[in-house]
């Protein structure tokens, strides 16, 4: 009687408790700044400079005090509007560019893509002055449009969606063309719905990055009512020093939308990263 051939699959590697302890330690290190921020938001100004983490007395009224110092809801609305519009425009333009680089055939397509991809290697400070001069010439300084346009286009989104679209079978395009669909119809009705995980991932990254943007709004905006949240937090740094306890309360409230977005869309984001990483 013939014996079954030995399996070529290696035995499962046992993951001991040390790996779990290491992961827990790394997680605690990563969450420590956030915990310190929340705890400091309940301290007095004097306690905020102490090395002790826990507040002596929980000052819940630090949060209402924030609204007396700055127009917090106005700053929050500015951040949400700017980040929202940047996200919509960048996802749309990146999807169009990715469709062209991945599904359409035109001369020197790959060379142009790698040249476009090379712009990711430029530090943002290199393009800061030219971009600002362009906004001045277009009379967009101290306007929402001046915050939105420079951030609405980027090579990263095109690269991410291109890698995702390369994994979609070409047979779908050919079948749609046989049915008489145009290039635009193929993009809008076939490719875009199938790229939903990648679109959601790019939208999350874009929204979070622009919601937290500080340096560009600091350069562009002059009117207090148009400040986003990160720039508005500078009001807590006055002549008498920095009101750290109120600053931490304001920052804690400002990250609430980001936490909500991540909790609601974390599955789609992780799936989009995993699928896009193994395609192309």
Task: Kindly list the structural domains of the chain, giving each domain's residue range(s) and its CATH number in brackets, ordered by start.
Answer: 17-49 (no CATH), 69-277 (1.10.3720.10)
* pLDDT value for 217: 92
CA distance 113 to 134: 25
* pLDDT value for 272: 60
pLDDT-flagged residues of the chain (< 70)? 1-16, 238-241, 268-280
Which tokens hold the place of 38? 């929340």
Q: Which element (helix H / strand E) includes 237?
A: strand 237-238
Which residues are 237's β-sheet partners?
Answer: 242
* pLDDT value for 265: 75
* pLDDT value for 190: 87
Query: What's the residue count for the chain?
Result: 280
Q: Which residue do the tokens 């989104």 mark?
A: 157
pTM of the full predicted structure?
Answer: 0.81
* pLDDT value for 155: 87
**SS3 call for 274:** helix
* pLDDT value for 110: 86
């Amino acid at each position: 009687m013939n014996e079954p051939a030995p399996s070529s699959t290696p035995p499962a590697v046992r993951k001991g408790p040390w790996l779990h302890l290491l992961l827990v330690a790394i997680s605690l290190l990563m969450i420590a700044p956030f915990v310190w921020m929340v705890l400091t938001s309940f301290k007095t100004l004097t306690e905020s400079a102490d090395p002790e983490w826990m507040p002596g007395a929980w000052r819940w009224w630090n949060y209402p005090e924030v609204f007396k110092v700055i127009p917090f809801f106005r700053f929050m609305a500015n951040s949400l509007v700017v980040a929202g519009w940047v996200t919509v425009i960048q996802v749309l333009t990146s999807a169009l560019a990715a469709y062209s680089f991945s599904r359409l055939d035109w001369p020197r397509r790959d060379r142009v893509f790698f040249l476009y991809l090379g712009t990711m290697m430029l530090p943002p400070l290199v393009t800061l002055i030219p971009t600002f001069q362009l906004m001045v010439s277009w009379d967009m300084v101290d306007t929402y449009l001046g915050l939105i346009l420079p951030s609405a286009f980027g090579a990263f989104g095109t690269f991410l969606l291109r890698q995702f679209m390369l994994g979609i079978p070409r047979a779908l395009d050919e079948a749609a063309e046989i049915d008489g669909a145009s290039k635009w119809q193929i993009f809008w009705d076939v490719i875009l719905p199938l790229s939903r995980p990648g679109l959601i991932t790019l939208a999350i990254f874009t929204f979070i990055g622009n919601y937290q943007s500080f340096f560009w709004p600091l350069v562009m905006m002059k009117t207090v009512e148009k400040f986003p949240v990160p720039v508005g937090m500078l009001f807590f740094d006055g002549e008498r020093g920095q009101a750290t306890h109120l600053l931490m309360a304001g920052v804690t409230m400002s990250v609430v939308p980001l936490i909500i977005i991540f909790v609601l869309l974390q599955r789609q984001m992780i799936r989009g990263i995993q699928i896009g990483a193994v395609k192309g």
